[in-house]
Chains A and B, each alone.
Chain A
Amino acid sequence: MSVFSEVPQAAPVAVFKLTADFREDKDPNKVNLGVGAYRTDDSQPWVLPVVKKVERMIVEDQSLNHEYLPILGLPEFRSSASKIALGEESPAILENRVGGVQSLGGTGALKIGAEFLRRWYNGHNNTATPVYVSAPTWENHNAVFSDAGFKDIRPYKYWDAEKRGLALDAFLTDLETAPEHSIFVLHACAHNPTGTDPKPDEWKKIAEVMKRKNLFVFFDSAYQGFASGSLEKDAWAIRYFVSQGFELLCAQSFSKNFGLYNERVGNLTVVAKDSENLSRVLSQMEKIVRTTWSNPPSQGARLVAITLNSPELFAEWQANVKTMADRVLLMRAELQAKLQALGTPGTWDHITHQIGMFSFTGLNPKQVEYMIKQKHVYLMASGRINMCGLTTKNIDYVAQSIHETVTKVQ
């Protein structure tokens, strides 16, 4: 009799199943608008030229070894990563109250932050603190916080399906009525999956309520630079909140903006009131890291640190990021134009108003099913498409498919 005979089969993670189904599909016109990874206009993965350059540097440098990193990670990576988010001249950085925890991608940064908050925020081991995630949100947010022990994970209104934009008033209401000290997970830019971000004056309103109601700010920043092409613009919200005196956590991912998906490069930036609080917080983060992965992987952090700390490489990186952002913006413009030209029922302005890798098309589950089964265009059941999956070669087919779907299926 096995100890594991009662272990049930778990459902596959939806986004990976979509890609698996896409791979099996034999249709020559098939298009994958599922998984969130950048693709070139030839539908190929793209290793950034600056990454190739720095990788060569690393392989050829015989003085480098594979020794353990410190528990909190590579120091030059942590500091440069936090600078990217907050700005080099950030008063918080100059006041020595900013720290970083190198983590396994954005997920890892969220995990360490969630574990820390569950142990040390709003009391000691207070699993009852409500955690608010946007409706909808990246599907892994829920699991990160619930596996960290939080028992009360709630949605805050965010996406207005009817007007296909931000449900700001409802969002602000949820903030006003949230219990004091609730944790709110905010997408710093390029909201996943809707691509809909608050405008600066809307962020100001959000910040005002959060300050007044003593709510905790946890930013998820997975697309800095990738959204608008500008690092500063994409970090505006984070920097605004810091300027308003918030202590906050910010989970950063370098998966997309460096194209380093599989090297798991992330950073949890901690902004505290002062350096004394910061050092106690980091000491506790160390304990959490020690029982999760001991110390983080070296390769990706080294690569990012070298790039960010060299003026030429940094400039080259910014240009590479802009290349990606520009191609996405172009695809948005083209798709919207083509749908308009086809006279596809409904409004399609949201495609160009939204930003980042994803677009919430507004297609309903029946329409999504038609797209997949009849047109072999793969997208998430929520209607989310990955703009990177669009190319000049397939955009006509995708536009026509959307047109056919919307006219045939209600």
Chain B
Amino acid sequence: MALLKSSKIFSSVGAFSPSLGVFPIRASSWWSEVQMGPPDPILGVTEAFKRDTNAKKMNLGVGAYRDDQGKPYVLSCVRKAEAQIAAKKLDKEYLAIGGLGEFNKACVELALGADSEVLKSGRSVTVQTISGTGSLRIGANYLSRFHTVARDVYLPKPSWGNHTPIFRDAGLQLKAYTYYDPSTCGFNFKGALDDISKIPEKSIVLVHACAHNPTGVDPRQEQWKEMAALMKKKNLLVFFDMAYQGFASGDINRDAWAVRHFIEQGHNIVLSQSFAKNMGLYGERVGGFTVVCNDAEEAKRVESQLKILIRPIYSNPPMNGARIAATILNTPELRNEWLEEVHGMANRIIKMREQLAANLKKEGSTHNWQHVIDQIGMFCFTGLKPEQVERLTKEFSVYMTKDGRISMAGVTSGNVGYLAHGIHEVTK
């Protein structure tokens, strides 16, 4: 795009009279060459859903948990924590650049396990971030600045849509490794290993710790073990994205198994965590970024550089959500209640998966819908083709993304039958 020519200047603005409130001569704008940005694919789904007048309409694009009445769910432990915090009458002074200390400590402990050797030796640094996105972005910026030996980030194919622009905006290059097998709606383990074995040394490889988004397809533990060994052999820098700890299986330790295993195998990982889903704190923007280092001294140096990266973006992070999360994690009764509620949310999703598969069978579908049950977490890659998705939306007012992904969180016992019917109609 050419530089703005000098014709785009305020030559006529001198004729403007403030008291009139209108511009007698319209001068050109600085922004005439700014293109209209493409609409966000997920938001577009919700917009269309809102406009639909069909009483049976379903929004399965939304990446936020809904209860069995289809309503947003504020966790009881969150409400209790909020009441506790309000009673303390705290001030509103700036947090440190790295965020709330008690949050950071609890956050990394949740991921690594309280007995982790990494925590005992103090060889990691954790900073509070603006939820998962903010964490990934700080991580990407950090690697872009300090991991100068390699510019490439390898994402699983497919991955969360926002991964690519985040890493790109940070100045890194995107590549992919085989992950999803459309013929089985499952994990292409051999394909993944093949591709990983060809990744150049020291490249950054991003893995979803659990509840892969968008496919819901997770490796089994034996498969994780082989991947960990191969990535170690190839000397790759592993970037874990964990946005669903607890939310996938209902068990926070089980969901963090891969992260802990990689560390035990000697990987110095970097890790992004989000509390948007597992604590329902979406809009409060609660997350953490962790770098596992060789020793405490190195961790201190890395921490100092993370602060230098954070300060020119937002100076220091927001207090409210981190305070809620820290209160929950650090107060035994609240923590226990949280674990139960997370288990409850995960269970409802699992139940909906089972009901969807059962209803599809009842409809008389001859397709294999086992993947609906095998996949895990909020999302299900149905295997529906774009034309089938379009029909499902047009004829049944079921809204989802074109790739066939549905958010199981939008499915309820009240509408699962209708959904199964619609899916059967467009796939029979």
Contacts and interface: CB of A to CB of B under 8 A. Distances in A.
Interface stretch (A75-83, A278-286, A309-317, A340-348): A278-286
Given A140-B315, A296-B285, A65 B72 contact: yes
Q: Which 3 A-B pairs have the closest CB atoms?
A: A104-B314, A124-B1, A298-B283
A140 B298 CA distance: 26
B211 interface: no
Contacts of B89: 47, 52
Contacts of A10: 301, 304-305, 307-308
Interface string A19-62: 00000000000000001010000001101000110011001000
Interface in B8-31: 9-10, 13-14, 16, 18, 21-23, 26-31
A47 B91 contact: yes
Interface of A: 2-13, 16, 35, 37, 44-45, 47, 51-52, 55-56, 59, 65-69, 71, 91, 94-95, 103-105, 107-108, 111, 120-124, 126, 140, 143-144, 146-147, 180-181, 211, 214, 216, 243-245, 247, 255, 259-264, 272-274, 277, 279-281, 283-284, 286-288, 290-300
Contacts of A71: 40, 43
30 contacts: A3-B149, A4-B291, A4-B301, A7-B298, A10-B305, A45-B93, A47-B91, A56-B86, A94-B21, A104-B314, A104-B318, A107-B311, A120-B34, A123-B1, A123-B4, A143-B312, A214-B10, A247-B29, A255-B94, A262-B93, A263-B320, A273-B28, A277-B31, A280-B36, A294-B132, A294-B133, A294-B162, A295-B285, A297-B130, A297-B318
Nearest to A125: B1
Contacts of B27: 245, 273
Given A4-B302, A5-B298, A37-B94, A247 B30 contact: yes
> In the complex, which of the residues B27, B166, B168, B312 has the most CB atoms of chain A within 10 Å of its own CB atom?
B312
> In the complex, which of the residues A45, A66, A91, A296 has the most CB atoms of chain B within 10 Å of its own CB atom?
A66
B284 interface: yes
A297 B283 contact: yes
Nearest to A68: B282
A184 to B, nearest CB: 14
Interface string B407-420: 00000000000000
B314 A264 contact: yes
B36 to A, nearest CB: 5
Given A3-B268, A66-B282, A284 B35 contact: yes
B147 interface: yes
B13 A244 contact: yes
Given A13-B307, A45-B92, A290-B165, A66 B283 contact: yes
A67 B282 CA distance: 5
A292 B285 CA distance: 12
B320 A7 contact: no
Contacts of B93: 37, 45, 261-262
Contacts of A51: 92
**Is chain B's interface secondary structure helix, strand, loop, or mixed overall?**
loop
A293 B134 CA distance: 5
B314 A66 contact: no
A117 B93 CA distance: 31
B37 A284 contact: yes
A126 B4 CA distance: 10
Nearest to B2: A123
Interface string B145-186: 011010000000000001001101100000000000000000
Contact of B301 (A7, A59, A287): A7
A140 B308 CA distance: 10
Contacts of B134: 292-294
B348 to A, nearest CB: 17
B225 interface: no
B318 A300 contact: yes
A208 to B, nearest CB: 10
A107 B314 contact: yes
Given A69-B283, A123-B4, A272-B31, A144 B312 contact: yes
Nearest to B31: A277
Contact of A180 (B6, B34, B96): B6
Given A122-B3, A274-B29, A297-B284, 20 more contacts: A3-B149, A5-B294, A7-B298, A8-B305, A11-B304, A47-B89, A47-B92, A65-B74, A104-B313, A120-B33, A140-B311, A147-B309, A214-B9, A263-B319, A273-B31, A277-B29, A293-B131, A293-B134, A294-B133, A299-B284
A111 B284 contact: no
Range of interface residues on B (Cβ < 8 Å): 35 or more
A340 to B, nearest CB: 34
A247 B31 contact: yes
Given A4-B291, A293-B134, A124 B33 contact: yes
A5 B302 CA distance: 9
B202 interface: yes
A294 to B, nearest CB: 4
A45 B91 contact: yes
A123 B6 CA distance: 11
A51 B131 CA distance: 25
A123 B3 contact: yes
B78 interface: yes
Contacts of A292: 130, 133-134, 137, 169, 313
Contacts of A120: 31, 33-34
Nearest to A289: B133
A251 to B, nearest CB: 12
A170 B168 CA distance: 41
Contacts of A8: 301, 305
B243 to A, nearest CB: 11
Contacts of A108: 313-315
Interface string B74-96: 10001000110010010111111
Contacts of B43: 71
Nearest to A302: B283
Nearest to B79: A62
B97 interface: yes
Contacts of B378: none
B311 A143 contact: yes
Contacts of B96: 16
A293 B18 CA distance: 38
A9 B301 contact: yes
A87 to B, nearest CB: 12
Given A105-B315, A245-B10, A260-B92, A293 B298 contact: no
